[in-house]
Amino acid sequence: MLPATRHPLDRPVPACLLRVLLAWLLFALLLTPALAQQPVSSPPTEQQKIDYLITTVAMLHGASFIRNGSAYDAEHAAAHMRLKLRFAGSRVKTVDDFIVYCATGSSVSGTRYTIRFADGHNIDAATFLRGKLAVFRTP
């Protein structure tokens, strides 16, 4: 029979190292549920998207909103959108409904709203709002 040989790593583990390893294991086990329960952000509601668009309009300082041939500042444009939203009532279920019914054209004359920026360039209100909505939807 051959004599038994010992592997160099076959020596006993010191008790202090064992306690440290057990402490780390316990810490990892206790931390795992906390990490697993991180709140998942839910997608924005339709109302949040609408509020975002109205706020974006209200903050366009220096821009004029052309409605039925008259120019209005950003605050007046946002207030007009809020008023139309209230009057639209249950017709507006989505942010797209809001854009169509409340933010891009006159329901009386059928004239489309435009935005004139401080630098002089104009953009159709629907184009502007859909562009802002696309930016809002990106993560």
Burial of 103 (0-12, 13-18, 19+ CB in 10 A): buried
Separation CA 111–CA 69 (nearest Å): 9
Separation CA 15–CA 11 (nearest Å): 12
Q: What is the pLDDT of residue 95?
A: 96
Q: What is the pLDDT of residue 43?
A: 87
Is residue 3 one of the residues assigned to a domain?
A: no
pLDDT in tens, the chain (139 residues): 555 566 556 666 667 666 766 666 666 666 666 656 656 678 899 999 999 999 999 999 999 999 999 999 999 999 999 999 999 999 999 999 999 999 999 988 989 999 999 999 999 999 999 999 999 876 5
Look up residue 32 and give its two tokens. Answer: 């795992």
Q: What is the pLDDT of residue 107?
A: 85
Is residue 129 one of the residues assigned to a domain?
A: yes
Is residue 102 one of the residues assigned to a domain?
A: yes
Dihedral class, residue 69 (left if φ above 0, else alpha if ψ from -120 to 50, else beta)? left
Residues pairing with 64 in the sheet: 116
Q: Model's pTM, two decimal places?
A: 0.69
Domain range enclosing 79? 46-137
Q: Is 68 helix (H, G, I), strand (E, B) or coil?
A: coil
User: What is the side-by-side order of every strand in the sheet holding 122-124?
Assistant: 70-72, 64-67, 114-116, 122-124
Nearest alpha-carbon partner for 131 in 53, 35, 15, 45: 53
Angle between helices 46-58 and 125-137 (to 10 degrees): 120
Q: What is the pLDDT of residue 133?
A: 95
Is residue 93 one of the residues assigned to a domain?
A: yes
Please tell me the total count of domains within the chain: 1
Is residue 54 one of the residues assigned to a domain?
A: yes
Is residue 81 one of the residues assigned to a domain?
A: yes
